[in-house]
Amino acid sequence: MGKASDAGVNLQDIMAARRRIAPYVVRTPTVLAKGLKERVGAEVALKLDSLQHTGSFKLRGATNRMLRLSPAEREAGVVACSTGNHGRAVAEAARRLGIPAKITLSELVPENKLAGIRAHGAETIIHGRSQDEAFEEAHRLVREEGMTLIDTFDHPDVIAGQGTAGLELLEDMPDIDTLLVPLSGGGLMAGIAVAAKAANPNIRVIGISMERGPAMIESLRAGKPVQVEEQSSLADSLGGGIGLDNRWSFPLVRALGDDFILLSEDEIAAGMTHLYWHEQLVAEGASAVGIGALLSGKVKPRDGGTIATVVSGCNVDMATFTRVVAGDAY
């Protein structure tokens, strides 16, 4: 296992990010799950970043990145490519900081997430049938209009911003020995892993993704970033590639991740259903993968240990959510 500093992000970066973004983000609570201890044999803590202003953890990294732009970069504006939550975060951070913003998205993005981005004041551009094609449009805006790309996950300032959730979690629950983190492009897992391993090198950090197009896990298996076919999933926020030229999140996830788990759609649905009926939480599929991994038995607690998972967002299509928690076909 490598060191976090080898990949360019360290604990000091995350602590500086927390000071920087404090006026703009919520310090979200950590609560014990009421309905899980008996089922899984351990206390389970929930880090509720679904309570951020934009409904997901993404506001942390986007805000930290944009606060570090030069005056000239702010004037030229920013662009982001997003399946929804990152776009919403960039739009909100740009609005708060007075920076022009454009968000590129693929045709697969759910309508509720598109509307959410527009509600925060950013211009939206629909381009292509995949995240990769939407990224092409974002890069064109960088080349031709001089905008700055606010990467979804693969930038040290974004990773450091996401890692602030890990600092808060470990302050609230210092005895955690296992962390379950939703895994897509790896920004959240990388940042939290840096914070966690600095606090306690023996903490297990486990990345959880879906069986349908898990780009980071397929890249880890291949030993390098690879493309995967993007597929529809209840955990749509975990979709998309990690970028073939990934420089930051892939090395950190590879160095600091202790295990990686894939869930079926039924297992993701079980996590969403549990959070709703037993914890009174509305959570998108990506937020529920930690719970799904526990309920399925794919993650086992250590003897006497405490597990924590990040409830990373609540921006779910409510028609789909209602079908899932009612036990109907989805």
On whether both 202 and 269 belong to a single domain, the answer is: yes
Domain boundary among 122, 149, 176: 149
Asked if residue 260 and residue 119 are part of one domain, the reply reads: no
My answer on whether 301 and 175 are in the same domain is: yes
Residue of 156, 144, 145, 150 whose CA lies nearest to 92: 150
Q: Which residues span the domain enclosing 175? A: 4-56+155-325
Q: What would the pLDDT profile of 215-227 be if each residue is shown by its tens digit?
A: 999 999 999 999 9
Q: Are residues 218 and 251 in the same domain?
A: yes
CATH number of residue 244's parent domain: 3.40.50.1100
Establish if 168 belongs to a structural domain: yes
Domain boundary residue among 91, 115, 149? 149
What pLDDT score does 231 carry?
Answer: 87
Q: What pLDDT does residue 6 have? A: 52
* 295 falls within a domain: yes
230 shares a domain with 218: yes
> Does residue 297 fall inside a structural domain?
yes
- Residue 330 is assigned to a structural domain of this protein: no
Per-residue pLDDT at 330 exceeds 80: no
63 and 167 share one domain = no
In 69-196, where do the E strands start and end?
A: 78-81, 101-105, 123-126, 148-149, 176-182
Angle between helices 11-21 and 156-172 (to 10 degrees): 90
Question: End of a domain among 130, 149, 168?
Answer: 149
pLDDT in tens, 42-76: 999 999 999 999 999 999 999 999 999 999 999 99
Residue 2, pLDDT score:
41
In this structure, the answer to whether residues 234 and 108 fall within a common structural domain is no
**Nearest by Cα to 54 from 81, 100, 85, 96:** 85
Q: Do residues 163 and 210 share a domain?
A: yes
196 with 250, same domain: the answer is yes
> Are 165 and 228 members of one domain?
yes
CB 4 within 8 A of CB 252: yes
Q: What is the pLDDT of residues 159-194, one digit of tens each?
A: 999 999 999 999 999 999 999 999 999 999 999 999
Looking at the fold, whether 21 and 113 belong to one and the same domain comes out as no
Do 65 and 209 belong together in one domain? Answer: no
**Strand pairing report for 259-263 and 176-182:** unpaired
Task: Report the pLDDT value the prediction gives residue 5, as an integer from 0 to 100.
Answer: 45
pLDDT for res 7: 61
- CB neighbours (10 Å) of residue 291? 31
Domain count, the chain: 2
* pLDDT for 4: 46
Question: Residue 314 falls within a domain, yes or no?
Answer: yes
